[in-house]
Chain A
Amino acid sequence: GAGVSQSPRYKVAKRGQDVALRCDPISGHVSLFWYQQALGQGPEFLTYFQNEAQLDKSGLPSDRFFAERPEGSVSTLKIQRTQQEDSAVYLCASSPGQGVSYEQYFGPGTRLTVT
């Protein structure tokens, strides 16, 4: 079946521009996660949804970052007034449920470059 998909795969933005990154989770998965992976680093947690409810946004680095999942399926991560330090790969993952029994399935990521 189809896995997690993300679009665009690559995005170049000039400093100060707003960007929107899309995630399509596996159909039926209730949990959705966003992670940020800087070059040469491991992914870092940004935020987590269960259905349409954003239950944890403790990892969002600033109020320029905003995520939504209005109908409990597709999610969008928006970054306002992009800065060079926002350059990273943004990973989306989905999971069929809560708890340790459920694996997180990752998408291929969106590579954001801010110039």
Chain B
Amino acid sequence: AQSVTQLDSHVSVSEGTPVLLRCNYSSSYSPSLFWYVQHPNKGLQLLLKYTSAATLVKGINGFEAEFKKSETSFHLTKPSAHMSDAAEYFCVVKGSNFGNEKLTFGTGTRLTIIP
């Protein structure tokens, strides 16, 4: 079984300040973890993924995430928020057992950027 918990349903930050979106995971196998972003009326876009290589993962648009096995966490960060970062963010887990291809999404965190 696999699941993710996004600890905040809404996060508001001022433009130019750091962003932190929190995610905890549960998985029976060594997981693969992802962050996806969903802008209004647009499709889901992959920000970054962790697949058991380096624990600090860098993604697009300046985002990064750190896999911490001891804390079962995979928090998403960005040093300086831009207005264009306003969107819904999903933490996603995929089991590494063979044949388990489905993605399990968290409930999402809505990020608001204050001008």
Chain A residues within 8 Å of B, Cβ to Cβ: 3-4, 31, 33, 35, 40-45, 48, 55-56, 59, 91, 93, 95, 98, 100-101, 103-104, 106-109
Contact = CB atoms under 8 A, between A and B. Distances in A.
Interface string B60-102: 0000000000000000000000000000001000101001011
A15 B111 CA distance: 35
Q: Interface SS of chain A: helix, strand, loop or mixed?
A: loop
Nearest to B45: A106
A24 to B, nearest CB: 13
B94 A100 contact: yes
Given A33-B102, A41-B107, 6 more contacts: A35-B105, A41-B108, A42-B105, A55-B99, A95-B101, A103-B46
A38 to B, nearest CB: 10
